[in-house]
Amino acid sequence: MGAIVKKPRVLDAAALGELFEALKAAGHTLIGPVPRDGAIQYQPIDGVADLPAGWSDFQDKGRYRLNETGEASLFDYASAPQSWKRYLHPPRLKLFSARREKGRIRFDDEAEPIPKYAFIGVRACDLNAIAIQDRVFIGNGQIDPHYAARRERAFLVAVNCSRAGGTCFCTSMGTGPRAETGYDIALTELIDDRGHRFLLETGSDAGESIAAGLDAAAAAPEDIDAAAAISERVAGNMGRSLDTEGLPEILAKNLSHPHWDAVAERCLACSNCTMVCPSCFCTSVEDTTSLEDGTAERWRDWDSCFSGRFSYVVGGQVRDSTRSRYRQWLTHKLSYWHEQFGSSGCVGCGRCITWCPVGIDITEEAAAIRATDEA
C-alpha cells in the first residue's frame, strides 16, 4: 500500500455505483454488507442495490436485532456478526490433496485460484484487526502464503461509522471510529441539506488511481467539517468503554483471581467469541483419507482456545477447564498479545459481547479483575 494521499473529494450517493464498477473493471470481486437472515452479512454483491439501505442494528450483551429505519442511509449499522477475516483467513481451507496411483503417492498440483476482493464498508476497528492479522500472518518472519496472497490482492473501501453500536468500544482501544490508515479509499456518508453524498479520501496509490476516474468533485470545507463532526459524535456515543491503563500487567498478575471461576460458571465454552473476533487466528489441521479411492486431503479449520482438543498434547489437555480457557482467551487478547505482536489483540468491535449467548462482556470481566486486583 502506498503513501497516504489525502485529497478529499465528494461523491454523490447516486454515483457510488461508479466506484463499484471501477473496482469490478479492475478485476475485483465485491464483498459488501447485505441484510440477510436478520443480520448484516458481508457477502458478494453486485452493486449498490444490494446494500442495506434503510437498515440499522441494535446490539447489546447477547442481543442483536436489525431495524428498518426508512432512511436513505446505506451504511447505518455497526459491526456485522462476521468480519472480513473469513475472506482473508478462510474458516476452512484445503492445504493439499493426494492420491495413490500405481503404488505411488501423487500430489494434486492444480493451484486454487486466489480471489481478488474489494471489501466495501470496512470499519475503522476492522482495519485495525486486519493490521493485526497482517502482523500475525506476514509480519513476524513466518509468512502464511494463503493469507498473504489474498491480502496482497485486496482493495479496502473503508466507511467511517455514522453511529456507534451498543457494544462498541473502539475509542478505548485507539482503533476508531474514524479510519486513519490501512484503507485504499475511505468514505463518510453525509446526509443533510446539502444532499446524500460521500466524503471520499484516498489512502494509497491504488485508491487514488481508482478515485481519479470517478466523477467526484473536490470536497468543500463544509463537507470535511460535516464528516469530522460525525466521527466526533460517534466517538462520544460508544456503547462500552475499557480502561486499558496498566491492564496487561494487572491481568498478568491475577491469573489465580477468583473472578475467573465466576465467569466459568456462565461460560458455555461455545467458541462464539473467538469465531466472530476479527483478530483471533488459531487453526487446527485435519487429514482425511478415503479407503475407497485412495485419496487423502489436508484441511485447515478455524479452531479456538475454548475447544478441548485445541490444547491437547500427548497425555491430555493443557487447559482442561472452562476457567482456564476463558482466562487464556482474555489474557491473550488484553495482556500478552502486546508482548507477542506489539499491540492489544482487541480492537473494540464488540462482536464477542453481542454474540456471546450468555452475555459475557469482555469489558466487564476485565474491569472486575481490575476492581479487585489482588496481587
Q: Which of 82, 172, 204, 279 binds ligand SF4 (CB under 6 A)?
A: 279
- For ligand SF4, the binding residue among 160, 231, 271, 328 (CB under 6 A) is 271
Q: Are strands 63-68 and 295-302 parallel, antiparallel or unpaired?
A: unpaired
C-alpha radius of gyration, the chain, whole number: 22
DSSP string for 176-199: -SS--SS-SEEEEEEEETTEEEEE
One of 74, 346, 366, 369 touching ligand SF4 (CB under 6 A): 346
277 sits near ligand SF4 (criterion: CB under 6 A): yes
Q: Say whether residue 262 binds ligand SF4 (CB under 6 A).
A: no
- Please give the grid coordinates belonging to residue 345: 489483540
State yes or no: residue 272 binds ligand SF4 (CB under 6 A). yes
Does residue 240 touch ligand SF4 according to CB under 6 A? no
Give SS3 for 294.
Answer: coil
In this chain, which of 95, 212, 268, 318 binds ligand SF4, going by CB under 6 A? 268
Enumerate the H helices of the chain as residue ranges. 16-25, 85-88, 124-137, 145-153, 170-173, 205-212, 221-235, 247-252, 259-266, 272-276, 322-331, 337-341, 351-354, 362-371
CB 158 within 8 A of CB 122: yes
- x/- track of binding to ligand SF4 for residues 290-319 (CB under 6 A): ----------------x-------------
Least distance between ligand SF4 and beta carbon 280 (Å) = 7
Q: Which residues pair with 202 in a beta bridge?
A: 185
User: How big is the site for ligand SF4, counted in residues (CB under 6 A)?
Assistant: 25
Are 199 and 192 contacting, i.e. CB atoms less than 8 angstroms apart?
no
- Of 116 and 163, nearer to ligand SF4 (C-beta) is 163
| Binding flag, residue 170, ligand SF4 (CB under 6 A) | no
Does 59 participate in binding ligand SF4 (rule CB under 6 A)? no
Measured in whole angstroms, the distance separating CA 337 from the mean position of its chain's CA atoms is: 17
- Is 327 among the residues that bind ligand SF4 (CB under 6 A)? no
Q: Which of 1, 26, 224, 270 binds ligand SF4 (CB under 6 A)?
A: 270
Choose the stretch contacting ligand SF4; rule: CB under 6 A; options: 26-34, 64-72, 150-158, 273-281.
Answer: 273-281
Dihedral sign of CA atoms 358, 243, 80, 29 in order: negative
Does residue 78 touch ligand SF4 according to CB under 6 A? no
Residue 165 is which amino acid? G
User: Interface with ligand SF4 by CB under 6 A: which range of 10-18, 46-54, 178-186, 355-363?
Assistant: 355-363
Question: Which residue lies nearer to ligand SF4 by CB, 180 or 364?
Answer: 364
Cell 446526509 locates to 191
H or E element: which one contains 93?
A: strand 92-101
Does 351 interact with ligand SF4 (rule: CB under 6 A)? Answer: yes
CB of 348 to ligand SF4, least distance (A): 5
Q: For ligand SF4, which is the closer residue by CB, 217 or 255? A: 255
- Give me the sign of the Cα torsion angle 345, 158, 219, 238: negative
The site for ligand SF4 (CB under 6 A) is made up of: 267-273, 276-279, 306, 333, 346-352, 356-358, 360, 362
